[in-house]
Amino acid sequence: MKKLLALLLLMPTTALAHPGHVEGSPFAAGLSHPMGGADHLLAMLAVGLWAASIGGRAVWALPLTFVSAMLAGGTLGAAGAHLPLVEPMILASSVLIGAAVALALQPGLAATLPVIAVFGLMHGHAHGIEGPAQGLMAYAAGFALATTVLHLAGIALGRLPPVRWLGAATAAAGLMLAVA
C-alpha cells in the first residue's frame, strides 16, 4: 500500500485526468473508468475501508448505498442533468472518508449513509457525463462492477491492523489530488 501511495503521489497531474472511454465495448469502458482516475479509485477504496472499520451492517450497507446512488447519479449525468460541485465533492470524498477512517469515526448508519449516498451520486454523475451515447446500460454495469470490486478491496484492506493509517494515507492522497 505504501508503494501504491508513493506512486500516486509522484504521478504528474495530467496522468490523473481520465478520458472515461476505452476502445471496445461500453462494458469495458465502464469497467475501466473508476480504475482510470486516482480520485475515483481512492474514494471507492475509502468506502470499503470505512465500512470495514465500522463493521456490522456497515460492511454491506456503505458499498450498497454508494453503488446505488452512483447508478442514480450516472443516470442523471447521462441525461444531461446539472449537479453543482461534482468535481469538488469527488475530491472531498476521499479526503473526508479517509479522515473518518483515520479518526476511527463510527457514527450510526443514519448519519453515515446519507454522506455516502451524496458522494456516490457525485461519482456516478461524473461517470454518466463521460459515458458513451450507445450502450449506456452495459457501461453502467461495468462501472458498478468495478466500484464493487474496489469496495471489496477496501474492505479487505480495512481488516488489516493499520486501518487508521490507511485512512490517513487515503486522506493525504486525496488532499494531494486537490492541490495538484
Q: Which three cell numbers stand for residue 65?
A: 448505498
Contact 130, 20 (CB under 8 A): yes
Q: Where are the domains of the chain?
A: 25-179
- In 34-162, which residue ranges form alpha helices assigned H by DSSP? 38-54, 58-78, 86-102, 109-129, 136-158
pTM for the model: 0.86
* pLDDT, average across residues 89-98: 96
Model confidence at 8: pLDDT above 80: no
* Per-residue buried b or exposed e for 143-157, using 16+ beta carbons within 10 Å of the residue's own CB: bbebbbebbeebbeb
* pLDDT, average across residues 115-125: 97
pLDDT at residue number 180: 81
**2 or 64, higher pLDDT:** 64
Model confidence at 7: pLDDT above 50: no
**36 or 89, higher pLDDT:** 89
* pLDDT, average across residues 33-44: 91
Q: Which residues, 6+ apart, have CB-to-CB distance to 10 below 8 Å? A: none
* pLDDT, average across residues 153-172: 93
Which among 155, 161, 127, 156 is positioned nearest to 62, based on CA atoms?
A: 155
